[in-house]
Amino acid sequence: MSVRVIDAVFRCAAITDRAELVVALALADWSDDYGWSYPSRDVLAAKARLTERGLRKVMKRMGYVEVREGAGPNGTNQYRLDLAWLARGAGGERRTPGTRVTPGGNGVPPIRQ
């Protein structure tokens, strides 16, 4: 759990959708200080009080979350909250869903093996 990431989510005024906020907070609760986490989809959905289908719909809108299918331990998905976007979020900027960030570039640390 990273208090730094949880704080960044709470401070981000650009997250106005309640379901997005709950999912972002759930991811932040599992995140390291760089925003990386790897909860299973069913556990993430349960923590966010959503069905798995509802979680997929919400995640499609969350362009500030990078998803790497099967890159986590035991084939779970790996997620990264974009901390730079969260920090700028007070301006209300939204990233287009599907935008990818290159690990190692723009100050984003690579995935730890």
User: Which domains are seen in the chain, by residue range?
Assistant: 3-91 (1.10.10)
Query: Tokens 């005024």 label which residue?
Result: 13
pLDDT in tens, 69-78: 888 888 888 9
Structure tokens at 89: 């979020």
* Section 52-68 average pLDDT: 93
- 94 versus 25: the higher-pLDDT residue is 25
List residues bridging with 79 in a β-sheet. Answer: 37, 67
Q: How far apart are CA 8 and CA 63, in angstroms?
A: 16
**Are the C-beta atoms of 70 and 76 separated by less than 8 Å?**
yes
Distance of CA 90 to the CA centre of its chain: 17
pLDDT of residue 81: 94
Q: Convert the pLDDT of each residue in 5-51 to its tens digit.
A: 999 999 888 888 999 999 999 999 999 999 999 999 999 999 999 99
Q: Which residues contact residue 48 at a Cβ distance below 8 angstroms, ignoring those fewer than 6 apart?
A: 19, 22, 23, 26, 55, 58
In this model, does residue 107 exceed pLDDT 60?
no
pLDDT of residue 32: 93
pTM score of the predicted model = 0.76
